[in-house]
Amino acid sequence: MARTIRAIAAVAGAVAVFATVSCSGDDEPQRDPSGNVTETADSADVFDIKVGDCLGDVDNADEVTDVVLAPCEDEHTHEVYAIAEVPDGQFPGADAFQNRATKQCGARFAEFVGVAWKNSELDYNWLQPTEESWEQGDRQIVCLAYDPAGPVTGTLEGAGR
C-alpha cells in the first residue's frame, strides 16, 4: 500500500508538528455539484481536500493516518481557505516553507476571515509537502483556519473575529 505524507505546521512553530498520511484506496468524499462536502468522510485522502473543505478532528499526534472531511455546517476543527503553489526546484526545507506559508496564508487569512490575523481570535496553520511528497510532485501549501478555543460549527469565511 503506497503512503504519501504531508506535514502540518503552525504559524509560530510552537505547536507540535505532525504528519497527515494518506493511503491509496481511501474513501472519496461525497460532494454536491458545487463541490461542497455533503457527508463526513472518515478516511479521505489528504490530496483530495479543496478550498472550502472543513476538516473534522485533526489529531495532535505525531502522525495522522486519515483526514476527516465534514460538511462545514457540522462541527469541525479546521477549514481550508487557500492553497498556495510552491515553484519547482530542490526541496525548500522547513524554514522556506514557513516563510512562504506565513506570507501566503497570512495574506489570504484577512481576505477569508474578514479581519487581519494579528487582530483575529482565529488562527491558521498549514499542510506542506514532505521530502517524500515533494519527490512525487507535491507543490502545495494548504492554508487551514481554525479557532484555538475549539471546534466550530459553520464556516469561518467572513467570521470577522
pLDDT tens-digit series, residues 108-146: 999 999 999 999 999 999 888 888 889 989 899 989 999
- Read off the pLDDT band of 6 (50, 70, 90): low
Largest CA distance in the chain: 44
For residue 81, give the amino acid letter: Y
> Considering just the CA atoms, what is the radius of gyration of the chain in Å?
15
**Phi then psi dihedrals of residue 27, to 5 deg:** -65, 140
User: What pTM was estimated for this model as a whole?
Assistant: 0.80
For residue 154, pLDDT beyond 50? yes
The pLDDT mean for the chain works out to: 81
Residue with the three cell numbers 496564508:
105
What is residue 67's predicted lDDT score, i.e. its pLDDT? 76
Q: Which three cell numbers stand for residue 22?
A: 494518506
pLDDT band at 35 (very low <50, low <70, confident <90, very high): confident
pLDDT band at residue 62 using 50, 70 and 90 as cut-offs: very low
Buried b or exposed e, range 86-119, using 16+ CB within 10 angstroms: beeeeebeeeebbebbbebbeebbeebbebebee
